[in-house]
Amino acid sequence: MEFRQLGNTGLKLSCVGFGASPLGNVFGNVSDEDAISSVRFAFQSGINFFDTSPYYGGTLSEKMLGKALKALDVPRSEYIVSTKCGRYKDEGFDFSAERVTKSIEESLQRLQLDYVDILQCHDIEFGSLDQIVNETIPALQKLKEAGKIRFIGITGLPLGIFTYVLDRVPPGTVDVVLSYCHHCINDSTLEDIIPYLKSKGVGIINASPLAMGLLTESGPPEWHPASPELKSACQAAATYCKEKGKNISKLAMQYSLLNKEITSVLVGMKSVKQVEENVDAARELADSGIDEEALTEVGNILKPVKNQTWPSGIQQS
Ligand code: NAD
């Protein structure tokens, strides 16, 4: 497993990160045994970075991840945990200082931890970005001073939210950005802002290399927000790979791992088999590179929908 520095944090993350949203049953039901064995196998395979949120499965993902990490029975310093605040299944969005301060206490209890490495404001395009700058991030700084969190992050879909916030906070206030669905075979727009993010000294995490299931043989879940056109193009790409005896998810994972400016590629996993496949994809990439022929063919199939995304968030004033 390759480890990469996360911005200026001093943290070294495995290039494959464990996305724990599937542990909240958001991609179908997962048993406690599968959750625990997936996390264990991931850790044994060199994955040291685990991401969750109170939102995933209405707190279930945090609880399952906490249980699975505890079962590892290794020193706390051997794994890096990120969770989020401001987005909740029952309450919706609340980025107030009061809510996020209470939120971390609840998360720590569910995760059975004394601190998290990164606390991220979850999907900030659904809140007021000025509130994030003026109220939420200052509240997170207090949590940092209190030792509840080590680093501060922001997450969301539209890339403009990152530049808006980073242009308005003092340098070094935001340590990490987590972008999703913008560095996969069908959408590479994250690349455009990497020089800017680097100039701001923030660490970059790329989530959803499989485009939340679009780039899998079995296809996306019911709730997936992509257009029918994007869904069918991805399905055609998956079928092409299958007919050639190749696997779209492996290719997608490898594509996401190619850019070394991105510290970790967070992929959602719910079984030992998926962990094994994704870790093998990373190893194979390091040993023999990507399958250029398949990448070109899949790129051609996806060309008509390249960089197509979907609306997310509220109109900012
Ligand atoms: P993803 O692109 O990682 O796809 C996950 C889906 O692919 C799941 O159904 C999973 O079971 C399946 N899968 C995983 N490995 C596979 C394999 N080898 N073959 C076939 N199928 C495979 O999408 P994701 O889970 O949404 O994103 C990864 C993680 O990133 C999340 O779990 C979460 O931790 C984080 N994330 C954060 C945000 C945010 O903060 N706004 C948004 C999206 C994702």
Provide the pLDDT for residue 315.
81
Q: How far is the CA of 5 from the centre of ligand 1 (A)?
A: 22
pLDDT of residue 26: 83
Q: Which atom of ligand 1 is found nearest the CA of 277? A: 18
Domain ranges across the chain: 3-305
Q: Indicate the top mutation candidate among 266, 279, 312 to test ligand 1's pocket, ranked by most ligand atoms within 8 A of CB.
A: 266
Q: Which residue's C-alpha comes closest to atom 17 of ligand 1?
A: 274
How do residues 127-154 score in pLDDT, each as one tens digit? 999 999 999 999 999 999 999 999 999 9
Is 180 catalytic? The answer is no
CATH topology of domain 3-305: TIM Barrel (3.20.20)
Distance 126 CA to ligand 1 centre (A): 21
Nearest CA to ligand 1 atom 31: 19
Q: For ligand 1, atom 22, name the residue with the nearest CA.
A: 274
Q: What's the 220 CA to ligand 1 centre distance in angstroms?
A: 10
How far apart, in whole angstroms, are the C-alpha atoms of residue 191 and residue 261?
9
What is the Cα–Cα distance from 41 to 272, expressed in whole angstroms?
Answer: 6
Atom nearest to 155 CA in ligand 1 = 40
Cα torsion 248, 252, 258, 263 to 10°: value is: -150
Query: Could you tell me if 1 and 14 are in contact, meaning their C-beta atoms sit under 8 angstroms apart?
Result: yes
Give 20 Cα–ligand 1 centroid separation in angstroms: 8
Would you give per-residue pLDDT tens digits along the chain (317 residues)?
999 999 999 999 999 999 999 999 988 889 999 999 999 999 999 999 999 999 999 999 999 999 999 999 999 999 999 999 999 999 999 999 999 999 999 999 999 999 999 999 999 999 999 999 999 999 999 999 999 999 999 999 999 999 999 999 999 999 999 999 999 999 999 999 999 999 999 999 999 999 999 999 999 999 999 999 999 999 999 999 999 999 999 999 999 999 999 999 999 999 999 999 999 999 999 999 999 999 999 999 999 999 999 999 998 76
Q: Which residues, at least 6 apart from 202, have a Cβ–Cβ distance to it below 8 Å?
A: 7, 8, 166, 174, 175, 176, 177
Instruction: Return the pLDDT at 37.
Output: 97
Give the Å distances, CA to CA, from 280 to 176, 239, 283.
27, 21, 5
Mutate to test the pocket of ligand 1, among 30, 107, 210, 283 (most ligand atoms within 8 A of CB): 210
Residues within 6 Å of ligand 1 by CB: 19-22, 27, 51, 122-123, 155-156, 178, 180, 207-213, 216, 249, 266-270, 274, 277-278
Q: pLDDT digits over 46-88, tens only?
A: 999 999 999 999 999 999 999 999 999 999 999 999 999 999 9
Distance (Å, whole) CA 54 – CA 307: 29
Looking at 55, 56, 79, 255, which residue is catalytic? 56
Q: Which protein residue has the closest C-alpha to ligand 1 atom 37?
A: 207
Ligand 1 geometric centre to CA of 245 (Å): 23
**Could you tell me the distance, in angstroms and rounded to a whole number, from the CA of residue 19 to the centre of ligand 1?**
6
- In order of 3, 162, 232, 313, the CA distances from 77 in angstroms are 15, 29, 44, 35
- The predicted pLDDT at position 90 comes to 94
